[in-house]
Each structure stands twice: as structure tokens, then as C-alpha cells.
């Protein structure tokens, strides 16, 4: 395909490098976290300036190419085969305004790059469970912070301004009052309306968090789940929790007591006095001796240790759904599907508790579909293409097994690569009214649907 494209003309307009398949550096540029969902672009532009982003988008528009964006590489819903890929690492910067508790990022920073610089000012951002996730991709999908979301809502509720290059190659700033329709669509529809070059958002004066993980042997699961559900319902907003039902690999990097273990992982955080956080955890101290215990008062910048997500890329499949409720029958079913006698091979099946500030409407309308949703339920299977049928079969069994309690909505950041690929599926996830409002903005700012290497909003 590139043979017919005047790539020399594009290159002459760029400050940053351009890569074609086979070029040194091409593979590094297109690398993503999930080795099962590679990007296979015809051209990669390693943008170094906003001008590079604009030139690349105009070139793609003029040549009928779709545009993909790789930020932190943690969710690639489509392969991007044959398209123009923009990487923004060379534009990465951040400016912290401690007096306003605000930060402006450009390019593609990962949360892990920001956490220490914020901590130096006594500040904390609303990062997710893994510090390796990209800040911008995360914010555009809402951003569910395991530590701060129940008290502060979605990370995207705290965005004050977004710079974005749309399908016409124009750079626009979106705020609650300027290009308000763009500001609405960007906070929830991810990369559908353009390539974001900068975001400004609020952060919080927090230095430490009491939290970590308690891992129990999986034969405790039936006793653990009702205790956890009832306890979670009583927690104050400063506390966050989720549970992971895990079969951990016997690999370096997994802490020794957990290597090869089948466990139930209580994730817990409390923003406040350590003694209060410890007192709240009391019911689980009575459950027996955990296999592994990392709960302590920790610097906020170490909050990634609560989930302990894998840091390095790996091949995996995932599926998820929202859950409306977890009555006793649902918990019994979950034990049948994932418990000690289930034969379940999934590395992690998790339930995240939502609610509290996540149910509050933001100051300016946004495109997130999940306010009022009780839980996000997600399964992860590690394995390459040769195990796809087996692992996806198990994901379908576990996610499908919880269907009686499922909600069609789920967190945009948790929609798996294989899910919501048809307009109808995506419409069900967002609800028809919100879906149509997003489509209207998309048609205004990206009428040619350049930004379709995505969970794509199109008129259905
Ligand atoms: C291990 C792991 C843990 C996670 N934990 C959480 C969590 O706790 N909470 C949570 O909310 N989510 C979580 N996620 C999901 C994560 O937030 C999303 O996958 C997010 O989209 C990743 O962003 P990225 O930049 O790393 O990924 P990328 O794959 O680079 O980007 C994903 C998509 O975001 C869009 N995008 C990225 N950058 C731009 C840009 N500059 N302009 C326009 N569009 C852009 C594009 O549509 C792109 O396809 C987790 C994911 C993983 C793999």
C-alpha cells in the first residue's frame, strides 16, 4: 500500500521520525501491552510537535487512511492494519502548578512518570491500578482510580482543558465553555473525535494512603465473597476495594508466596489516618492468616502495589461486563465458576466496587455511560493465539455465567478488544441516547471517520 503513497512528501513536513514496515524502530513504535493485539500500521509517525500531528492527519485524510493513536499502549481495540499510526512519546512533558493543584501534560506520559514529580509537591493524581497505563488514554475513558474514585469520581471529572487535533487537521481547545461539544465527547468516547495533544486536570493534596493487598487461599472464596460484599457496602467514600480471584503463574516477578498459587486477592485502600484504615479492615483480620499481606501506610506514589498488575507486556484476552447487584445467588454462581473446584484457568477474575462519587454527575456533561452502576466485572486470561479458543471459551463461560445480574453498560476503559465491535454492541454499552449524542459530535469533527481504529461510534 505504501508504494502508492507519497510518503516522502509526508516525511518532508515532519519534525519527528517516520517509520515504514521493516524500518529499524518500527516495531518499538507499534509495540503494545497486549501481545495478542498488535498494531500493524502502514506508516508510523513519531510526532515531535503538534504540527507533526496535524501534518499526519491531513496526509491520512488526503490518502484515505485511518488514523490510530498509541499512547501508553494498554488498550488497542483494533489492529490498525494498514493505517497511519501516531505515537506521541516525543511530545511528552508535564507542568505541575502546585498552587492550583493542577497539571498539564502533553504527548503520551504514563502515570508512573507523573507520580513521583507530583509527590514532590505533596500531590497525587487519579491514576488507575497500573502505573504503566497512559495518562491520556485513561482520562479519555473516564479513569477509574482504585484509591480516589469513590471520593473524587472519575479522573475525567477533573479535566479542565483538552487540546485536540480533529479530522480537518485543526487544533482546538475544548473546555466546559469553549467547544463544549468536543469537551463532552472526549471525556468518554476515547480517541473517536481526534488526537489529543495536551490535557490539563486537577490533582489532590495527598501524600500517603493506607492500603495494599491481602491474599487468601482460594478455598476461603465462598466465605470471603459475602463478607466482602456486605463490608464494601458499609465503607466510607475514602475507602476503595475490589476483589481478584487469581491463578497466579509460577514466574519471576510474582512475589514468592503467590507464585503458582490460587488465591482470592482483597484490594483495599483508605485515604485518611492509618489507624482508621486499619480498623475498617478488622473483619478480614478475623478470616484467617493470609497467604500474603502488603497492607501498610504507603506513599501515594506506591499505590500501584495495591493491585500489583503485571508491568511487562504479555499475551492476554479479556472480557467484562457491568453488574447491577451481587445477591447471594450471584456469589454462589461466582464460586461455581471460579472457585477451588471450577477448573477455571483465568489468571484473574475481578469485581471492582463502584458507587459513591462515581455516581455523581460532573460539572460539565460527559460521555461516560456508567453512573449508577454498582460493579465492574472483568476476566483476564493469559495465553497466546494457540490458546485463544480455550481461554476465550472460559471468559465467555465466566462472564456469561453472571448474565442474570449483568448490566449492558460497562466502564469504557474496560471494554475488551473483542467486545463492542458492532455499532449495536457499542450502542448497548453506552445506551442509545448517549451513543447518538456522541455520534453527532463525531460526525461534526471527524466526518470521514478517520479515527476508527477504536471502539468506533458510527450511525447505526
Ligand atoms: C493492566 C491494566 C490495568 C488497568 N487499570 C485500569 C484502572 O485501574 N482504571 C481504568 O480506568 N482503566 C484501567 N485500565 C484500562 C486503561 O485505562 C485503558 O486501557 C486506557 O485506554 C489505556 O490507555 P493507554 O494510553 O495506555 O492505551 P493506548 O492503547 O495507547 O490507547 C488506548 C486508546 O485510547 C485512545 N488514545 C490514547 N491516547 C490518545 C490520544 N493522545 N488522543 C486520542 N486518543 C488517544 C485511543 O482511542 C486508543 O485506541 C487498565 C488496563 C490495563 C491493561
The response to whether residue 417 sits with its C-beta less than 6 Å from ligand 1 reads no
Dist. CA 110 → ligand 1 center (Å): 10
The response to whether residue 437 sits with its C-beta less than 6 Å from ligand 1 reads no
Alpha carbon nearest to ligand 1 atom 8, residue: 128
Confidence at residue 2, expressed as pLDDT on a 0 to 100 scale: 64
The response to whether residue 309 sits with its C-beta less than 6 Å from ligand 1 reads yes
The response to whether residue 141 sits with its C-beta less than 6 Å from ligand 1 reads yes
pLDDT digits (tens, 9 = 90+) for 22-58: 999 999 999 999 999 889 999 999 999 999 999 999 9
The response to whether residue 109 sits with its C-beta less than 6 Å from ligand 1 reads no
C-alpha cell at 11: 516525511
The response to whether residue 412 sits with its C-beta less than 6 Å from ligand 1 reads no
C-alpha cell at 57: 492527519
Where are the domains positioned within the chain?
A: 2-89, 93-205, 208-414
Alpha carbon nearest to ligand 1 atom 12, residue: 413
Q: Which parts of 15-89 are beta strand (E)?
A: 18-19, 43-46, 67-70, 84-87
Question: Buried b vs exposed e over 130-165: b needs ≥16 C-beta within 10 Å?
Answer: bbbbbbbbbbbbbbbbbbbbbbbbbbbbbbbbbbbb
Q: How many residues does the chain have?
A: 460
Residue 226's pLDDT band, with cuts at 50, 70 and 90, is very high
- For ligand 1, what atom is nearest to the CA of residue 142? 11
pLDDT digits (tens, 9 = 90+) for 72-115: 999 877 776 889 999 999 999 999 999 999 999 999 999 999 99
Cα distance between residue 133 and residue 124, in whole Å: 16
Alpha carbon nearest to ligand 1 atom 40, residue: 196
Class level of CATH domain 2-89 = alpha beta
pLDDT at 4 over 90: no
The arithmetic mean of pLDDT across residues 193-217, rounded, is 98
Cα distance between residue 399 and residue 322, in whole Å: 10
pLDDT at 389 over 90: yes
The arithmetic mean of pLDDT across residues 150-156, rounded, is 98
Question: Buried b vs exposed e over 363-402: b needs ≥16 C-beta within 10 Å?
Answer: ebbbbbbbbebbbbbbbbbbbeeebeeebbebbeebbebb
Cα distance between residue 95 and residue 315, in whole Å: 34
The response to whether residue 107 sits with its C-beta less than 6 Å from ligand 1 reads no
pLDDT digits (tens, 9 = 90+) for 272-317: 999 999 999 999 999 999 999 999 999 999 999 999 999 999 999 9
Average pLDDT of the chain to the nearest whole number:
96
Alpha carbon nearest to ligand 1 atom 52, residue: 74
Alpha carbon nearest to ligand 1 atom 41, residue: 196
Indicate if 208-414 has the same CATH topology as 93-205. Answer: no
Dist. CA 136 → ligand 1 center (Å): 7
The response to whether residue 164 sits with its C-beta less than 6 Å from ligand 1 reads no
The response to whether residue 137 sits with its C-beta less than 6 Å from ligand 1 reads yes
Confidence at residue 120, expressed as pLDDT on a 0 to 100 scale: 98
Q: Which of 77-86, 163-172, 178-187, 199-208 has the lowest mean pLDDT?
A: 77-86
Residue from 38, 66, 67, 69 to probe ligand 1 pocket by mutation (most atoms less than 8 Å from CB): 69
Radius of gyration in angstroms for the set of CA atoms belonging to the chain, rounded to a whole number: 22
The arithmetic mean of pLDDT across residues 168-196, rounded, is 98
pLDDT at 460 over 90: no
CATH architecture group of domain 93-205: 2-Layer Sandwich (3.30)
Alpha carbon nearest to ligand 1 atom 18, residue: 413
The arithmetic mean of pLDDT across residues 325-347, rounded, is 98
Residue 421's pLDDT band, with cuts at 50, 70 and 90, is low
Which DSSP string corresponds to 174-199?
A: E-SSSSHHHHHHHTTSGGGS-EEEEE
Residue 252's pLDDT band, with cuts at 50, 70 and 90, is confident
CATH architecture group of domain 208-414: 3-Layer(aba) Sandwich (3.40)
Cβ atoms 266, 243 nearer than 8 A: yes
Cβ atoms 333, 402 nearer than 8 A: yes
Degrees to nearest 5, angle at CA 193 with 189 and 198: 90
- For ligand 1, what atom is nearest to the CA of residue 78? 49
The response to whether residue 195 sits with its C-beta less than 6 Å from ligand 1 reads yes
pLDDT at 383 over 90: yes
Residue from 134, 196, 197, 369 to probe ligand 1 pocket by mutation (most atoms less than 8 Å from CB): 134
Confidence at residue 1, expressed as pLDDT on a 0 to 100 scale: 58
The arithmetic mean of pLDDT across residues 127-139, rounded, is 97
Confidence at residue 419, expressed as pLDDT on a 0 to 100 scale: 72
Amino acid at each position: 500500500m505504501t508504494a502508492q503513497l507519497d510518503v516522502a512528501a509526508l516525511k518532508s513536513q515532519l519534525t519527528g521520525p517516520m517509520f515504514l514496515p521493516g524500518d529499524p524502530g518500527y516495531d518499538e513504535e507499534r509495540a503494545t501491552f497486549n501481545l495478542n493485539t498488535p498494531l500493524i500500521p502502514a506508516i508510523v509517525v513519531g510526532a515531535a510537535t503538534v504540527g507533526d500531528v496535524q501534518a499526519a492527519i491531513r496526509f491520512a485524510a488526503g490518502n484515505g487512511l485511518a488514523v490510530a493513536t498509541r499512547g501508553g499502549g494498554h488498550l488497542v481495540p483494533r489492529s490498525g492494519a494498514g493505517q497511519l499510526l501516531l505515537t506521541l512519546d516525543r511530545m511528552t512533558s508535564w507542568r505541575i502548578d502546585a498552587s492550583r493543584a493542577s497539571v498539564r501534560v502533553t504527548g503520551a506520559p504514563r502515570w508512573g512518570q507523573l507520580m513521583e514529580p507530583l509527590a514532590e509537591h505533596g500531590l497525587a493524581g487519579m491514576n488507575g491500578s497500573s502505573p504503566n497505563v497512559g495518562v491520556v488514554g485513561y482520562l479519555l475513558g473516564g479513569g477509574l482510580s482504585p484509591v480516589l474514585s469513590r471520593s473524587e469520581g472519575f479522573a475525567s471529572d477533573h479535566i479542565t482543558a483538552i487540546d485536540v487535533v480533529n479530522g480537518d487537521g485543526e487544533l482546538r481547545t475544548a473546555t466546559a465553555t469553549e467547544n463544549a461539544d468536543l469537551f463532552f465527547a472526549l471525556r468518554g468516547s476515547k480517541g473517536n473525535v481526534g488526537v489529543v495533544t495536551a490535557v490539563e486536570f486537577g490533582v489532590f493534596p495527598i501524600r500517603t494512603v493506607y492500603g495494599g493487598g491481602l491474599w487468601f487461599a482460594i478455598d476461603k472464596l465462598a466465605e470471603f465473597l459475602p463478607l466482602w460484599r456486605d463490608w464494601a457496602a458499609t465503607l466510607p467514600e475514602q475507602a476503595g476495594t475490589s476483589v481478584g480471584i487469581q491463578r497466579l503463574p509460577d514466574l519471576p516477578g510474582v512475589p514468592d508466596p503467590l507464585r503458582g498459587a490460587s488465591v482470592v486477592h482483597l484490594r483495599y485502600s483508605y485515604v485518611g489516618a492509618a489507624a482508621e484504615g486499619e480498623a475498617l479492615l478488622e473483619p478480614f483480620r478475623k478470616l484467617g492468616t493470609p497467604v500474603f499481606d502488603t497492607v501498610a501506610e504507603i506513599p501515594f506514589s506506591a499505590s500501584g502495589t495495591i493491585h500489583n498488575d503485571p508491568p511487562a507486556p504479555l499475551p492476554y484476552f479479556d472480557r467484562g461486563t457491568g453488574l447491577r447487584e451481587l445477591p447471594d445467588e450471584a456469589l454462589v454462581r461466582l464460586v461455581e465458576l471460579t472457585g477451588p473446584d471450577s477448573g477455571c484457568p483465568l489468571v484473574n477474575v475481578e469485581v471492582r466496587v463502584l458507587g459513591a462519587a462515581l455516581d455523581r454527575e460532573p460539572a460539565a456533561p460527559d460521555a461516560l455511560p456508567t453512573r449508577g452502576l454498582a460493579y465492574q466485572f472483568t476476566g483476564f486470561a493469559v495465553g497466546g493465539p494457540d490458546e485463544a479458543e480455550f481461554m476465550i471459551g472460559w471468559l465467555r463461560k465466566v462472564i456469561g455465567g453472571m448474565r442474570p445480574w449483568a448490566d449492558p453498560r460497562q466502564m469504557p476503559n474496560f471494554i475488551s478488544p473483542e467486545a463492542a465491535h458492532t455499532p449495536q454492541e457499542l450502542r448497548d454499552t453506552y445506551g442509545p441516547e448517549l451513543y447518538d449524542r456522541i455520534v453527532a459530535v463525531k460526525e461534526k469533527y471527524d466526518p470521514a471517520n478517520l479515527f476508527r481504529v477504536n471502539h468506533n461510534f458510527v450511525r447505526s
